[in-house]
A = this chain, B = another copy of it.
């Protein structure tokens, strides 16, 4: 079996797959595609993924993009264990209900906030006017409120059910780390804070390993803010 993961640990779904594969002791080869160096636009990588995005897997020559499709495929191929991706049809449907919801439910809003608040000023020297930025923050807060109250806070430790996390929890946890780099901490939501610690604990030490780079950015950013 040969499995390569093209990824950059600055990318949320890249981190989720990296942490997942590490935590299940999968023998895979991480291939880092440095987004900051625009390596995803290179001819070599464009030949692997015409959409020029990470993550991508190469499983015995079968190349697949889209993190959620990759999770489903690795589950079918019995690389991800049933405890993390249920096989029973209704339980699987509950995990997939979240995997589909999160695209526009949290990912979009957390990623856009990170982009306009942190990335665009660095990469494009473009700073948004305060009113527009407040709009992005408000939409992200609505999304986080929905996640905090409609997925969490329903009497279970994790998103779907039971006392163990699934791929749904890991994907969500990695998405929520992104706005922290832009100075916003979703842990201010009560249910998120409690749940987040449990997800981290379950996947550690790999969770922290996958977040080494972004935790450095967060630390640096907090120093910048405290100096202002």
Residues of A within 8 A of B (CB): 50-51, 62, 64-69, 72-73, 76-77, 89-90, 92-93, 96-97, 99-101, 103-104, 107-108, 146, 150
Minimal Cβ-Cβ distance residue in B for A67: B100
A73 touches B50 (CB 8 A): no
B50 touches A97 (CB 8 A): no
B104 touches A69 (CB 8 A): no
CB-CB under 8 A from A99, the residues of chain B are 69
CB < 8 Å neighbour of A108 from B64, B66, B108:
B108
CB < 8 Å neighbour of A66 from B64, B73, B89, B97:
B97
In angstroms, Cα B103 to Cα A99, docked, is 11
What copy number does this chain have within its complex?
2
Of the A-B pairs whose beta carbons lie under 8 Å apart in the complex, a sample of 5, sorted by A's number, is: A51-B150, A76-B89, A76-B92, A100-B103, A104-B108
B150 touches A69 (CB 8 A): no
B89 touches A69 (CB 8 A): no
Beyond the given pairs A66-B101, A104-B108, 10 more chain A to chain B contacts, judged by CB atoms under 8 angstroms and listed by A's residue number, are A62-B90, A65-B97, A65-B101, A66-B100, A67-B100, A72-B92, A72-B93, A72-B96, A73-B96, A108-B108
A150 touches B50 (CB 8 A): yes
**Most chain B CB within a 10 A radius of its CB, from A65, A97, A101, A107:** A97
In angstroms, Cα B92 to Cα A76, docked, is 10
